[in-house]
Structure 1
Amino acid sequence: MSEMRKAPTGILGFPVAPYTSSGAIDESALHRNITYLLDEGLEAIFIACGSGEFQALSVSEYELMLDIAKDATGNRVPLYTGVGGNLATALEQAKLSEKKGVDGYLILPPYLIEGEQKGLHDYIRMLLETTDLNAIVYQRDNAILSPDTLQSLLRYEQLVGLKDGVGNMEANLILTQYVGDRIGWLNGMPMAEVTMPAYIPLGFHSYSSAISNYIPHISRRFYDALLAGRTNEVNAIYKDVILPINEIRKQRKGYAVSLIKAGMEIVGLPINSSVRPPIVPVEKEHYNQLETILEKAHELYPPVNPITK
């Protein structure tokens, strides 16, 4: 792939959709969320995706989030948007993304329908043919591609990556062997740090880090230790931080989003922990557990640039 046609690598930032007390998008909080991720060295920003409550945004809110992200990133790193759901909406979002001058988009699953492979192929094909932007397919839920389907889409140079949110390692092995380095491979599992050691040998060089929204220095330390083979350090971070947070995340559906906001609020970022239905906020018991974990994490792994509350 050329440099222009290349998926981002490294730790990828997925900002949230922060809300004001009246329920509107909190523009200053979102800008701070993004600049914080960039200041901490994350390699790309993906706006209005899963962590950004993609499914709950109006058209005007979606556009507002893109404008804020475009301003905050200032072309310092690749900027991708989320597109998906019903085909008409996805096509509108892709066109708007191109109009805003972003680098690419993440193709989220189609809405509700369980499509055959031909249907998934045509859904992705129509998006790829709509703009010249880079595109990454997010494989999860009702959008799981066979090797033949993925191979048939590779004639579009816009397709630069596949993000896996399924976790079927046999299928991932087959896909990566089948396709090789024609596209980039991204780990998109919930709490991707948990599974990253299994993905790296298959050629996955990127992952979306939920915890980077509030403890990015630990995300970086973990990933650097993993790549360098510092097994003792990796295991310590697992035991002290990653696995305890993951246990909380698994307690309720939707915590993959709401737990991020709770963590951001706890560390002192200008955001409240409100979310939009059907996602539920973090329960007080779990909030307190996360607070205890983060206090310990900051004692054991102090950040170079601590947040001033």
Structure 2
Amino acid sequence: MTRIAFGDGVLFFPVTPFDRHDRVEREVLAQHISEGVDAGAAGVFAACGTGEYHALSVDEVSSVVSAAVTATAGRVPVLAGAGGPLGHARHSARVAADAGADGLLVLPPYLVHGPQAGLVAYVEAIAAETALPLIVYHRANAALTEDSVERLAAIEKVVGIKDGVGDIALMQRFVLAASRVGRELQYFNGLLTAELSQAAYRAIGVPLYSSAVFAMAPDLATAFHTAYRQHDDQRQRELLDGFFVPLVRLRDETPGFAVSLIKTGLRLAGMPVGGVRAPLTDPTPTQEERLREILASGRELL
């Protein structure tokens, strides 16, 4: 199976908007995704981490992916989340394919910490449900070993590994392990606010990274990505120091703010995406004001 044909821009992880009755707001979602693609997104990852996959029913996953496919209109690939309880993951894989997704991001299984053989079997079970290519997310209770990556690389439908652990040396070994079985997978830096660590990932042959920031501030995320592609280290440092590091300090104050702040930033920009679902929480008014100031400071650099 071939690689997923992403564009040259930033990988876009849209939020899932909810209306005042806590229903998925498809029209707002379509606007959000269409504007992101217009801003230069290289691919759309719908109903994934930033899109609160953990809080969506299978019917809602189907609705979100369908809206993403329609809004994207074939301009860039659309990938959908599939994870959690195995039954939910299998069902999500099927409805994503039916909705027209181009691939799946395999998220960690629900709650339990299985052995490595079980994690490989989990991916195999999802692969058996779909003809779509899979990117496997290495993080949390789905943290992989070098041997497991070698086994996953032997599965034709597995085309990539996304790292959410942050062990650079281990990720380098993953790259080498896949090569040993004759596979050149796609590798992604999937750490929270990946811009802070991407220089290190590029050095080991991992050029792609996810950007939650792109969902609320595509101008700032794209400015960093442009500097990154041009190897403009000074410009990257300016943006990191003036925007990304202050954002991370605020993000780290409360669990789940990697998603909550993105939705808040969109609301500050006038997009009615609603709040986050439990167990996440929205920022306090003070934190919201600090986010407004951080975004303004970042844009002064533009």
State the Cα deviation string for residues 274-309 of structure 1 (Å, max 9, x = none).
1111001011111111101112222331xxxxxxxx
Aligned pairs for 1:132-151 within 5 A = 132-151=131-150
**Match of residue 298 from structure 1:** 299
How far 1:176 moved relative to its partner? 1.5
How far 1:104 moved relative to its partner? 0.6
Q: What CA distance in whole angstroms lies between the structure 2 residues aligned with 1:283 and 1:199?
A: 34
**Match of residue 272 from structure 2:** 270
**Match of residue 8 from structure 1:** 6
Using structure 2 for the length normalisation, give the TM-score.
0.95
Amino acid at match of 2:91: E
Paired residues of 1:6 and 1:183 also in contact (CA < 8 A) = no
State the Cα deviation string for residues 178-210 of structure 1 (Å, max 9, x = none).
224610001110111111111111111211111
**Match of residue 307 from structure 1:** none
How far 1:155 moved relative to its partner? 2.4
Q: 1:6 to 1:65 in 2, by over 3 A?
A: closer
**Match of residue 122 from structure 2:** 123
How far 1:11 moved relative to its partner? 1.6
Paired residues of 1:8 and 1:206 also in contact (CA < 8 A) = no
**Match of residue 221 from structure 2:** 219
Paired residues of 1:81 and 1:106 also in contact (CA < 8 A) = yes
How far 1:156 moved relative to its partner? 2.1
Q: What CA distance in whole angstroms lies between the structure 2 residues aligned with 1:182 and 1:221?
A: 29
Aligned pairs for 1:56-205 within 5 A = 56-180=55-179, 182-205=184-207
State the Cα deviation string for residues 74-131 of structure 1 (Å, max 9, x = none).
1111010000011111111111122222111000001011010110111111111221
Paired residues of 2:5 and 2:77 also in contact (CA < 8 A) = no
**Match of residue 305 from structure 1:** none
Structure 1: any 5+ residue segments left out of the alignment?
A: 302-309
Paired residues of 2:116 and 2:148 also in contact (CA < 8 A) = yes
**Residue of structure 2 aligned with 1:210, choices 209, 212, 225:** 212
Q: What CA distance in whole angstroms lies between the structure 2 residues aligned with 1:47 and 1:252?
A: 24
**Match of residue 246 from structure 1:** 248
Q: What CA distance in whole angstroms lies between the structure 1 residues aligned with 2:214 and 2:148?
A: 33
Structure 2: any 5+ residue segments left out of the alignment?
A: none
Q: What CA distance in whole angstroms lies between the structure 2 residues aligned with 1:12 and 1:29?
A: 20
Q: What CA distance in whole angstroms lies between the structure 1 residues aligned with 2:288 and 2:61?
A: 28
How far 1:7 moved relative to its partner? 6.2
Q: What CA distance in whole angstroms lies between the structure 1 residues aligned with 2:205 and 2:151?
A: 21
**How many residues are matched?**
298
Structure 1 stretches of at least 4 aligned residues deviating more than 3 Å after TM superposition? 5-10
Amino acid at match of 1:44: G
Q: What CA distance in whole angstroms lies between the structure 2 residues aligned with 1:166 and 1:177?
A: 17
Using structure 1 for the length normalisation, give the TM-score.
0.92
Q: What CA distance in whole angstroms lies between the structure 1 residues aligned with 2:214 and 2:200?
A: 20
Paired residues of 1:7 and 1:161 also in contact (CA < 8 A) = no
1:182 partner SS: coil
Q: What CA distance in whole angstroms lies between the structure 2 residues aligned with 1:147 and 1:8?
A: 26
Q: Does 1:50 align with 2:49?
A: yes
Q: What CA distance in whole angstroms lies between the structure 1 residues aligned with 2:58 and 2:93?
A: 12
**Match of residue 22 from structure 2:** 23
2:84 partner SS: coil
How far 1:67 moved relative to its partner? 1.4
Q: Does 1:280 align with 2:281?
A: yes
Q: CA RMSD in A?
A: 1.5
Paired residues of 1:7 and 1:183 also in contact (CA < 8 A) = no
